[in-house]
Structures are given as C-alpha cells and as structure tokens.
C-alpha cells in the first residue's frame, strides 16, 4: 500500500495519478481504502504532500518524519490491542474518509517498521526516478529500482564524466 501510494507519481514519465479527484478515488479503491466521493483540491494537496513525505521518508530525507508525525497526530492514529488471539489494530479519530485512508497507510508504515520489512522498501537512488521498490537483495543493499535502467544510466553518466575529466586534464 505504501509502495503503490508513492508510485502514484512517475517522475520519468511526468505522470501524477493524484492530480485529479478521479485519480485519488481510483487509487483508494484499488487499495480497498475509503475516499471522499468528491475529493476537493485540499484533499488532493494533502494526499500529494503525504505521498511525497513518504517518498522522502523511504529515502531517509531529513524532515519527512515530521510531516508523517503530523499526520499521525492529525488523524489520532494509535495502536489498539485486542484479545484472543492477541493482536493489535491501528485506529484513528478519522473524521473523514481521507483521515481513515491515511490512518491505514500510517498503520502499515508503523507495522512494517516494527517487523523490519520497511527497511527494504526504498526509493531509487536516481534523482530523476525515485520510484519506490522492495529491495529483495540478500543484504538489502540495492540502490536502483532497476539496475538495467536507472543503475545503467547512472554508471554511464559517471563513465562519461570520468572521460570528460580525463580529456580536460590532458
């Protein structure tokens, strides 16, 4: 759910699925999340800001956690333990369907950070990509969403820069 939200914006193709109310509704429905029937511009702006904070958080950027913590406070997201068999749910004060959707995304972030799987959800190191991907490498050291695409472009740029530096040194 976190990955699909982050990937509603495709930098390489200049596509943003959350630029229209229909796009937000379609994403929410695909994830089984509630959404306002007619999202407002304020709803779209909030979700885009939330999405970009998630993208930055996955990329370990400074300040992203404060936006997410602000949403936790705004939605009142908190764990609720339940008996037999022992388990926990995340609830929020959820005054709107959008609050409920954001609460569920934040619950996924908290849950996956506790079980350790969130460290494998990353953003591509290519600044013109930043696609969210799940790192399946044994040591969780992948940097690129696709080594054959973004990694190859980065390596080619580095090679050309070295070649150009070599020519100017002569």
Whether 67 contacts 60, CB under 8 Å? no
Count CB neighbours of 76 within 10 A: 13
> What pTM does this model have?
0.86
Residue 130, φ and ψ in degrees, nearest 5: 55, 30
Q: What pLDDT score does 45 carry?
A: 97
From CA 9, how far away is CA 18, in angstroms rounded?
8
HSE at residue 157, side-chain half, CA atoms within 13 A, is 8
For the chain, give the percent of residues with pLDDT over 70. 96
* Helices 64-75/97-115 angle, 10° precision: 120
Whether 55 contacts 130, CB under 8 Å? yes
Domains plus CATH for the chain?
A: 2-169 (1.10.3300)
| Residue of higher predicted confidence among 127 and 54 | 54
What are 50-82's pLDDT values in tens digits? 999 999 999 988 889 999 999 999 999 888 888
Residue 42: pLDDT above 90? yes
Residue 23: pLDDT above 80? yes
Residue 72, φ and ψ in degrees, nearest 5: -60, -45
From CA 48, how far away is CA 6, in angstroms rounded?
9
The C-alpha R_g of the chain, in whole angstroms, comes to 19
């Amino acid at each position: 759910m976190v990955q699909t939200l982050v990937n509603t914006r495709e930098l390489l193709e200049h596509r943003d699925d959350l630029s229209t109310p229909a796009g937000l509704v379609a994403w929410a429905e695909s994830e089984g999340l509630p959404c306002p029937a007619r999202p407002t511009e304020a709803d779209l702006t909030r979700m885009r800001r939330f999405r970009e904070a998630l993208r930055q958080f996955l990329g370990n950027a400074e300040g992203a956690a404060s936006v997410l913590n602000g949403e936790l406070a705004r939605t009142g997201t908190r764990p609720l333990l339940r008996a037999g068999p022992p388990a926990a749910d995340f609830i929020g004060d959820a005054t709107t369907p959008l609050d409920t959707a954001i609460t569920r995304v934040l619950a996924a972030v908290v849950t996956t950070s506790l079980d350790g799987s969130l460290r494998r959800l990353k953003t591509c190191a290519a600044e013109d990509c930043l696609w969210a991907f799940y790192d399946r490498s044994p040591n969780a050291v992948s940097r690129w969403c696709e080594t054959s695409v973004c990694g190859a472009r980065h390596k080619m740029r580095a090679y050309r820069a070295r070649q150009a530096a070599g020519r100017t040194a002569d």
